[in-house]
């Protein structure tokens, strides 16, 4: 299976970077699935049903959210209605939406997408290891599921790395998101899982994590500013990964970084 995962989409610049480049991505990589992290797609915080539909209509097979899942209130019913969008698995089943989804692809294969959220430097959340262990009891990679992509949405690089090694050989891909800075460590781990600490963002890189620099600079200088983060509106760049998995085992054969 050939899978493309596009990193955190930040505001209009990020949306356009993805939507405008989908034809080129398809032409170059011939992917079986395109997955997008959309949790910053609406003015930098959350996503709306309309934005999600734009991605799906353009050929995106699955959408992954994050710690800003519930920032746009109109998304909440959509999280339950749309089977192609997920939020962190370890926020608990009592919350709207689902933490994992099976995506049926036109080639007859199935891709399981899962999101976990980290615990360091983020709001309190359930144990991600317990959550993924319970989920994976129902899946046998390469047998009843063709491939498994796990997004680790976390601040701490150590948490992302720890999860990568914990899931090595159990899933196809562990991809870090949330910090918006692409890392240079895309590789296949010893037991066959493709890994990267951070996929990077889709947005205006002439910015601070997709936002105009003035307010982040003010927050660095002063404890309280009262200002708001404003998305940067320059030309967007798409960062993502391309992974090819073995159809027999579901494990990764190849991973490379994408920049458009």
Q: Give pLDDT tens digits for 177-207.
A: 999 999 999 999 999 999 999 999 999 999 9
Cβ-contact 4, 33 below 8 angstroms: yes
* Tens-place pLDDT, residues 9-66: 999 999 999 999 999 999 999 999 999 999 999 999 999 999 999 999 999 999 999 9
- pLDDT band at residue 224 using 50, 70 and 90 as cut-offs: confident
The C-alpha atoms of residue 103 and residue 126 are separated, in whole angstroms, by 25
Report the percentage of the chain scoring pLDDT > 70: 100
- pLDDT band at residue 93 using 50, 70 and 90 as cut-offs: confident
Catalytic residues: 68
Token representation of residue 156: 């701490």
* Tens-place pLDDT, residues 206-217: 999 999 999 999
Query: Could you tell me the residue ranges of all domains in the chain?
Result: 2-259
Match domain 2-259 to its CATH number in 3.90.1150.10, 3.50.50.60, 3.30.450.20, 3.60.21.10.
Answer: 3.60.21.10
- pLDDT band at residue 241 using 50, 70 and 90 as cut-offs: very high
Handedness of CA 86, 114, 64, 122 (dihedral sign): positive
What's the whole-number mean pLDDT along residues 105-129?
Answer: 95
Is pLDDT above 90 for 223?
Answer: no
What's the whole-number mean pLDDT along residues 149-171?
Answer: 98
The C-alpha atoms of residue 174 and residue 256 are separated, in whole angstroms, by 13
Cβ-contact 131, 99 below 8 angstroms: yes
Token representation of residue 174: 């562990």
- pLDDT band at residue 92 using 50, 70 and 90 as cut-offs: confident
Confidence (pLDDT) at 151: 98
Euclidean distance between the first and the last CA atom of the chain, given in angstroms as a whole number: 22
Look-up of token digits 């209130």: 73
3-state SS string for 229-251: CCECCCCCECEEEEEEECCCCCC
Report the percentage of the chain scoring pLDDT > 90: 95
Token representation of residue 251: 């494990």
């Amino acid at each position: 299976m050939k899978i493309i995962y596009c990193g955190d989409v930040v505001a209009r610049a990020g949306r356009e970077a993805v939507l405008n480049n989908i034809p080129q991505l398809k032409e170059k990589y011939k992917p079986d699935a395109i997955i997008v992290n959309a949790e910053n797609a609406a003015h930098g915080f959350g996503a709306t049903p309309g934005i999600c539909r734009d991605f799906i209509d353009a050929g995106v097979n699955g959408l992954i959210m994050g710690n800003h899942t519930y920032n746009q209130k109109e998304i909440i019913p959509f999280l339950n209605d749309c089977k192609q969008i997920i939020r962190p698995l370890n926020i608990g089943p009592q919350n709207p939406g689902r933490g994992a989804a099976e995506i049926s692809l036109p080639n007859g294969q199935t891709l399981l997408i899962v999101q976990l959220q980290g615990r360091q430097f983020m709001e309190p959340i359930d144990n991600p290891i317990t959550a993924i262990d319970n989920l994976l009891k129902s899946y046998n990679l390469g047998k009843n599921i063709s491939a498994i992509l796990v997004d680790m949405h976390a601040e701490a690089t150590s948490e992302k790395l720890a999860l990568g090694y914990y899931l090595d050989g159990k899933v196809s891909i562990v991809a870090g998101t949330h910090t918006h800075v692409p890392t240079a460590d895309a590789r296949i781990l010893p037991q066959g899982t493709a890994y990267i600490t951070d996929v990077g963002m889709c947005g205006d890189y002439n910015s601070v994590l997709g936002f105009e620099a003035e307010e982040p600079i003010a927050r660095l200088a002063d404890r309280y500013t009262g200002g708001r983060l404003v998305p940067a509106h320059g030309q967007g760049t798409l960062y993502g990964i391309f992974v090819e998995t073995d159809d027999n085992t579901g494990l990764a054969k190849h991973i490379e970084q994408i920049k458009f």
